[in-house]
Structure 1
Amino acid sequence: MTEYYLAVDIGASSGRHILGHMEQGRMVMEEMHRFYNGLTVKDGEACWDLEQLFEEIKIGLKKCGKAGKIPVSMGIDTWAVDFVLLDGNDQVLGNTVGYRDKRTEGMDRLVRPVIPEKELYGRTGIQKQIFNTIYQLMAVKEKHPDHLEKAEAMLMVPDYFQFLLTGKRASEYTNATTTQLVSPKTKDWDFELIEMLGYPKHIFQPIKKPGTVLGTFTEEIRREVGFDCQVILPATHDTGSAVLAVPSNEENALYISSGTWSLMGVERKEADCTEESRRLNFTNEGGYDHRFRYLKNIMGLWMIQSLKKELQDAYSFAELCEMASQESIPSLVDCNDSRFLAPESMTEAVQGYCKETGQQVPAAPAQLAGVIYRSLADCYGKTVREIETMTGVRYKNLHVVGGGANAAYLNQLTAASTGKTVLAGPTEATAIGNLMVQLMAKGVLADLEAARQCVYDSFEIKIYEP
């Protein structure tokens, strides 16, 4: 009898239910449900609609039941840094504000007198990003202090969904580290730092490793979806799951998790919290089995996604990629410039940067796409050189996993810019990594080495030479 495992993978623009099972040593996946996600303005803040997202989670579960493919376990992964505060009745306090909202502007000026940025990095190993949870909580403290006073629990977004399914509260390790409030030495909350910042210590839940069995559905959920299921914590940070799916057992594997963000780095056994690492803006996010994802956040395909939307979806991503490949405009932008985080118009942001720097200003969609793709590849090339300097390792290959693995032109540019052989795939890396953890927890896959070999055997990998 076939055993099914369910990965619920929710990104910033869409979510999906992916059922996985094993056939002759290979992983087979099937999409059961796909749904929209996005930020909406509420009370002047850019917010996630968690009620609707949870309804979609249940709809996908019902589809599995209706198809007669009931999973033996499931896990949910999402983006990082965003959270909910719950009161004593487990009701959400305030809005669930998204990381692209402007409420954190200036919050670093309130954190800095408490702990200087150099000391904060040395203590947490997490790069400064103004939307990190540490700054979001400061925004709540400043603008809605009553929410913190009433709060009994803080849960990251995927932890909240899994709480709704099981009634059990926990903070999964990989996502917890993105708060910039976890110690890379103890792998636990830095309660001294939390107290220094004036955040209530009691709201932070016990940190659990990926592979932890959280529980089974509550009676209410069982009745609604028509079956019971074990909930296993995956790497709930979607990048943590995606990095798991890098199809290599090399000790030094270089990767880009390419989606809305491009996360470029390597896995390490110890965090690098040095001043040089901070100055280069690298981060040490938690990974599976207490590994560290030593990486740099690069703006990523968000720029192309925004352009596509502004063009009223007149072109597919594949068409934009092909159009860009026919252009020779030499202009480049700094993808990590803050103007590209949440501009009212990505087109105007790119054009403005080029104009300010005295470069040719792109006009046509193909030119805009060309500038974005070439700028991303240029950034990847610079980042590779920084990683090699910091690790002392010379890398031969670069693995590209996630949706960006489909962007052939970008992959070819990346191979040329980095001088590395690009191995592109799998594209559904986040869902695969989610499933890997469940399969390891159930003993179907013996360990991470066996799981990564399974990914290599199961999915297509395309090769781009420099």
Structure 2
Amino acid sequence: MNRYYLAIDIGASSGRHILAHMECGKMVLEEIYRFPNGMIEQDGELVWDIDTLFEEIKLGMKKCKEMNKIPVSVGIDTWAVDFVLLDELDRRMGNAVAYRDTRTEGMDEEVYQIISEEGLYEVSGIQKQIFNTIYQLMALKKKHPEQLIKAKKLLMIPDYFHYLLTGKAVTEYTNATTTQLVSPETKTWNWDLIKKLGYPEEIFQDIQMAGTELSNLSEQIQQEIGYDCKVILPATHDTASAVVAVPSNQEHNLYISSGTWSLMGTELLEANCSPVSREHNFTNEGGYNYRYRYLKNIMGLWMIQSVKREIAENLSFGEICDRASKSTITSIVDCNDKRFLAPFNMTIEVQNACRESGQQVPKDISEVAAVVYNSLAICYAHTMKEIEDITGVNYDRIHIVGGGANAEYLNRLTAKFTRKKVYAGPTEATAIGNITTQLIAFEELTDLQGARKCIYESFAISVY
């Protein structure tokens, strides 16, 4: 009889429940439920509809009961940096504000009055992103200090969902590091920094590593969904789970976790918090088993997702990719320009960027998409060169994992501009990494090395 494991993977635009089991030494996946997600405007803020998301989590878990495939464990991963605050009665305070909200504008300067940008990188190793939790908390301190005064718990989004399932409040390590408040040396909260910034110490929960058994489901949840199972902490930051699923046991791997964001980097056993690393805006985010994901955020397929919604809603991503491959436009934009983070209209923003730089202005979906794909691939090539220069390693291949691994044209462009062999897949890397952590916890897989060998043998990998 199969033993099932459930990964609940929630991204910025959708979430899904992936059920998995082992069969003849290979991992077998089955998507059993999918639901939409997205930021909404509420009280003048861009927020996540947390209550609806949790109802969707439970609906998908009920599907397991209906299918008579009850999992032995479940784990939830989401995006990083965002959080909720709970009061003394464990009631949520305020909105679950999304990272693309403008509340953090100017908050970097407020933080740098207390600790310099250089000093902050030295003690955190985390790249500057204006939406990092450290700046979100400063926005609360300046604009809604009453919330911080009354708060008793801070939980990252996946930690909050785990709390709702079990009643146990902890912070998982990989997501905790994205707050910019965790020390890469002690691998726990940087209490000195937290005190200097004036954030209440009591709100920060114990940090636990991915693979930790959190608890069984609470009695209330058991009654609601019709069964009990273990909750195993995966690498709750979706990129961290995706990196777990990079199907290679080479000593040095270069990867792109390709989705709404493109996260390009390598794995290190020690953080690189050097001035050179900071100048190139690389981050040392926590990974599984205290590895470091040494990477750079690149705007990613968010640009294509936005353009599709604006001018090609009826086309699939595959069709958009195919049309772009037939375009001859050569215009390029800087994908990492903040103008593309949350523009009113992405298509117009891309067109304006081309016009302002004296290049051909793309007119239709074929040309706009071609500009985006070519710009992304060139950005990958520049980032790869930076990584090689900083680490002193000459990588012979790039592994592209996540939904973007399906973008054949982008994969070919990446191979062309980087002059590296590109291995694309698996596409469900985040869910696979989530499940992998559970499988290791239950000793169905021995360790990360054995798991990556299993992943390579279980899923299709395309080579360019």
How does the TM-score come out when normalised to structure 2? 1.00
Deviation at 1:312, TM superposition (A): 5.2
Aligned to 2:204: 204
Deviation string, structure 1 residues 293-349 (Cα, Å, up to 9, x no partner): 000000000000000010251211001100000011111000000000000000111
Q: Spell out the pairing of 1:79-158 with structure 2 (5 A cutoff).
A: 79-158=79-158
Give the whole-Å Cα distance in 2 for the aligned partners of 1:414 and 1:393. 19
Whether the 8 Å CA contact 2:81–2:131 is kept in 1: the answer is yes
User: Amino acid of the residue matched to residue 76 of structure 1?
Assistant: I
1:16 aligns with 2:16: yes
Deviation string, structure 1 residues 322-377 (Cα, Å, up to 9, x no partner): 00000111110000000000000001110111111111111111100000000000
Give the whole-Å Cα distance in 2 for the aligned partners of 1:96 and 1:452. 35
Q: Spell out the pairing of 1:205-244 with structure 2 (5 A cutoff).
A: 205-244=205-244
Q: Which runs of 5+ in 1 are unaligned?
A: none
Aligned residues: 464
Give the whole-Å Cα distance in 2 for the aligned partners of 1:28 and 1:449. 19
Aligned to 2:245: 245
Aligned to 1:189: 189
Give the whole-Å Cα distance in 2 for the aligned partners of 1:406 and 1:109. 40
Give the whole-Å Cα distance in 2 for the aligned partners of 1:66 and 1:366. 43
Give the whole-Å Cα distance in 1 for the aligned partners of 2:185 and 2:348. 44
Aligned to 2:428: 428
User: Amino acid of the residue matched to residue 365 of structure 2?
Assistant: P
User: Amino acid of the residue matched to residue 356 of structure 1?
Assistant: E
Give the whole-Å Cα distance in 2 for the aligned partners of 1:163 and 1:372. 39
User: Amino acid of the residue matched to residue 43 of structure 1?
Assistant: D
Deviation string, structure 1 residues 27-69 (Cα, Å, up to 9, x no partner): 0000110000000000110000000000000000100011000
Give the whole-Å Cα distance in 1 for the aligned partners of 2:355 and 2:81. 34
- Residue 27 of structure 1 aligns to a residue whose secondary structure is strand
Whether the 8 Å CA contact 2:172–2:208 is kept in 1: the answer is yes
Aligned to 1:369: 369
Give the whole-Å Cα distance in 1 for the aligned partners of 2:413 and 2:219. 52
Give the whole-Å Cα distance in 2 for the aligned partners of 1:65 and 1:365. 43
Deviation string, structure 1 residues 373-427 (Cα, Å, up to 9, x no partner): 0000000000010000011000111000000100000000000111100000000
User: Amino acid of the residue matched to residue 49 of structure 1?
Assistant: D
Give the whole-Å Cα distance in 1 for the aligned partners of 2:417 and 2:265. 16
Give the whole-Å Cα distance in 2 for the aligned partners of 1:366 and 1:451. 40
Aligned to 2:408: 408
Whether the 8 Å CA contact 2:312–2:365 is kept in 1: the answer is no
- Residue 413 of structure 1 aligns to a residue whose secondary structure is helix
Deviation at 1:230, TM superposition (A): 0.2
How does the TM-score come out when normalised to structure 1? 0.99
Q: Which runs of 5+ in 2 are unaligned?
A: none
Give the whole-Å Cα distance in 2 for the aligned partners of 1:269 and 1:36. 36
Give the whole-Å Cα distance in 2 for the aligned partners of 1:313 and 1:70. 37
Give the whole-Å Cα distance in 2 for the aligned partners of 1:225 and 1:347. 43
Relative to structure 1, is the Cα distance of residues 312 and 366 closer, same or farther in structure 2, using a 3 angstrom cutoff?
Answer: closer
- Residue 460 of structure 1 aligns to a residue whose secondary structure is coil
Q: Spell out the pairing of 1:336-375 with structure 2 (5 A cutoff).
A: 336-375=336-375
